[in-house]
């Protein structure tokens, strides 16, 4: 009985350690000739390999595909099944991504469902620096019951001012974030007040602005959706659309 108890504790502890090592990686790159953003959630196995789930979004069209697969330990060989639903189990793959993920770079070939070669892809975990970024933006977005107003001024990578407000109908609960201070951040710009963080990243033709852990500045039903800011200062909500 004691032996079984020890075995149970060992296995349970191993599961906890594996969960603690799980992490989300964000990668920017191209799927064929189209700029794309990829998110992968990596869960390590005991043999050093990893289970991967996630998605990628083709930025110009906001078309989204979901991914699941594996990454080997030694060479970073990675194979991901692609589908138009977050639940891929029991469904035929629409395509397969095969390549290597090593040194922060994931690159390879995308294949069709019958194994036919399609486009090549390459993604990197390293995002462009924004130490020279300058912009003065004031824009509003509205979609469905969500409304957002974003205003900021950045000069040569230094924050001058930022205010971000949102409202969610029908209760009309609001968020209002301001008074942020700049933090050191590689591959973008980040501003914070307490736990609340607002992050900017250069995605090529657009800058993405996201908020994390900002509940203290929001009503119970309010939130801040990611915003894409184009080079002319126009804004759009980052709302991926799954392709059929």
CATH ID of 2-124, from 3.40.630, 1.10.10, 1.10.3470, 2.40.128: 2.40.128
Residue 92: its pLDDT value, please? 80
The tens-digit pLDDT sequence of the chain (244 residues) is 444 333 333 333 444 444 447 899 999 999 999 999 999 999 999 999 999 999 999 998 999 999 999 999 888 999 999 998 877 776 788 999 999 999 999 999 999 998 899 999 999 999 999 999 999 999 999 999 999 999 999 999 999 999 999 999 999 999 999 999 999 999 999 999 999 999 999 999 999 999 999 999 999 999 999 999 999 999 999 988 765 5
51 within 8 A of 70, measured Cβ to Cβ: yes
145 by DSSP, 3-state: which?
Answer: coil
86 within 8 A of 67, measured Cβ to Cβ: no
Please report which residue ranges of the chain form alpha helices under DSSP H: 2-21
Domain residue spans in the chain?
2-124, 135-242
Sorted by sequence, the CB contacts under 8 Å of residue 70 that are 6+ apart come out as 49, 50, 51, 52, 78, 79
Residue 28: beta bridge partners? 37, 124
Residue 7: its pLDDT value, please? 35
Residue 58: its pLDDT value, please? 95
Residue 99: its pLDDT value, please? 97
Per-residue buried b or exposed e for 154-163, using 16+ beta carbons within 10 Å of the residue's own CB: beeeebeebe
Per-residue buried b or exposed e for 187-225, using 16+ beta carbons within 10 Å of the residue's own CB: bbbbbbeeebbbbbbbbeebbbbbbeebeebbbeebebb
Residue 242: its pLDDT value, please? 64
């Amino acid at each position: 009985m004691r032996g079984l108890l020890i075995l149970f504790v060992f296995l349970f502890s191993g599961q906890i350690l594996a969960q603690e090592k799980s992490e989300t990686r964000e990668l920017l790159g191209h799927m064929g000739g189209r700029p794309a953003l990829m998110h992968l959630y990596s869960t390590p196995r005991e043999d050093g390999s990893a289970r991967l789930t996630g998605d990628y979004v083709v930025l110009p069209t906001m078309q989204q595909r979901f991914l699941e697969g594996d990454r080997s330990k030694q060479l970073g060989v990675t194979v991901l099944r692609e589908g138009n639903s977050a639940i891929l189990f029991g469904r035929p793959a629409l395509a397969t991504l095969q390549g290597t993920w090593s040194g922060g770079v994931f690159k390879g070939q995308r294949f069709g469902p019958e194994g036919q070669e399609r486009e090549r892809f390459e993604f990197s975990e390293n995002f462009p620096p924004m130490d020279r970024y300058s912009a003065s933006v004031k824009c509003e977005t509205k979609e469905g019951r969500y409304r957002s107003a974003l205003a900021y001024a950045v000069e040569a990578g230094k924050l001058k001012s930022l205010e971000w407000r949102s409202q969610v109908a029908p209760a009309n609960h609001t968020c209002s974030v301001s008074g942020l201070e700049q933090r050191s951040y590689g591959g973008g710009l980040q501003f914070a007040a307490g736990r609340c963080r607002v992050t900017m990243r250069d995605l090529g033709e657009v800058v993405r602005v996201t908020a994390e852990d900002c509940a203290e500045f929001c009503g119970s039903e309010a939130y801040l959706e990611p915003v894409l800011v184009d080079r002319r200062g126009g804004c759009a909500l980052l709302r991926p659309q799954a392709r059929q």
